[in-house]
Amino acid sequence: MKAAGSSHWAAINESSFVAGMRLLFWVCRVFGRWPFRVVLYPVLTWYVATKPVARRASSTYLARMRPLASVPGGWWGVIRHFAAFAENILDKMLLWGGLIDTSRVQFHGADLMDRLLAERRGALLLCSHLGNVDLCRVLSHQQPGLKLTVLVHTRHAKAFNDMLAAIDPRSQMNLLQVTDMTPATAMLLSERVAAGEIVVIAGDRIPVAAQPRVVMAPFLGTPAPFPVGPYVLASVLQCPIYLMFPLRGQQGYEVHFEQLSETVRLPRAGREAALTQLATAYAARLQHYAARSPLEWFNFYDFWHIQSGHEDATS
């Protein structure tokens, strides 16, 4: 099911995009946000012109989003999409540098998380590549009693992670590199959930494996592959699943929490149907929030096909 010219997301080397962010970060700190944008757009024009795979992926996504939300078309739309990505990267750096006022963040559904903490229950928190997850990681350090384990595969973005670590070493705390879910990893996560920790995992990128386990779910008008790992993990950990969407609103950042499922049971008969139902419910909520902030979904590869291989889409 590999599309011609497609590439698995893990093979995309993001460092070429963020290589100039140190300079742009300095421009923002010294001169402000608007001078940062003035410098940014010529860089983005060059980037979009020289990265055809990422450009096509952005254009395809925006075309699928257009029936649901107002998004610019053509090259300008793609540039605006990558500009939102650059602003997101800048915000990550500003957040870990303590340069964004997090007291103004608006929360929706925070009572769900408050109840978990009060009951000292563990849970699976399903996030996505929509918005700025680092905002919630920074905020977690301000919440007494909250412990996170964030499952990541970030070896393709080492330069960016090193840059964040130089700003604040805490940016690398509570991260657990996972290429494949082994029994040892499952046991470790089970112990942490039993102790009341929250395991964070993305639900909109297929596993880094030769034969990724996915189901097809409707997303932006076309079936797309979504991983089943989060739901299998929740069934093994015997914990509820919550959703988190941290978005940039008109008045600043806002974070939305929802419950996807109190329990996950995967019977032998109908297992595939149960997994598809959960992935479909997740995809529907992802689409809902993506339509609210259409330029904030940052998956710059052919999302609607199962990818394999090692083509570098950004070099």
184 lies in some domain: yes
Parts of the chain with a pLDDT under 50? 1-13, 15, 308-315
306 lies in some domain: no
Q: Which pTM does this prediction carry?
A: 0.89
Burial class of 11 by CB neighbour count within 10 A (0 to 12, 13 to 18, 19+): middle
Helix segments in 195-270, DSSP class H: 229-237
Burial class of 13 by CB neighbour count within 10 A (0 to 12, 13 to 18, 19+): middle
State the pLDDT at residue 309: 37
- Start-to-end CA distance of the chain, whole Å, equals 24
State the pLDDT at residue 14: 53
Segments forming the whole domain that contains residue 266: 9-296
Q: State the pairing for strand pair 252-261/241-249.
A: antiparallel
- Tokens at 168, concatenated: 């604040």
2 lies in some domain: no
State the pLDDT at residue 258: 97
Q: Where are the beta strands (DSSP E) in 47-177?
A: 106-108, 123-127, 148-152, 175-177
- Cross-strand partners of 255: 107, 246
311 lies in some domain: no
Task: Kindly provide the b/e burial profile for residues 70-80, where b requires at least 16 CB atoms within 10 angstroms of the residue's own CB.
Answer: ebeeeeebbbb
- Cross-strand partners of 176: 151
Whether residue 155 contacts residue 177, with contact meaning beta carbons closer than 8 Å, is answered with yes
Rounded to whole angstroms, the Cα distance separating 306 from 42 reads 33
State the pLDDT at residue 296: 96
pLDDT in tens, 120-150: 999 999 999 999 999 999 999 988 889 999 9
307 lies in some domain: no
204 lies in some domain: yes
Q: State the pairing for strand pair 106-108/252-261.
A: parallel
29 lies in some domain: yes
Residue (of 225, 207, 216, 233) closest to 302 by Cα position:
225
Number of domains in the chain: 1
Residue (of 315, 256, 306, 314) closest to 285 by Cα position:
256
State the pLDDT at residue 306: 66
- Torsion angles phi and psi, residue 110, rounded to 5: -65, -20
- Torsion angles phi and psi, residue 290, rounded to 5: -65, -35
State the pLDDT at residue 16: 52
Rounded to whole angstroms, the Cα distance separating 264 from 257 reads 18
74 lies in some domain: yes
DSSP SS3 for 82:
helix
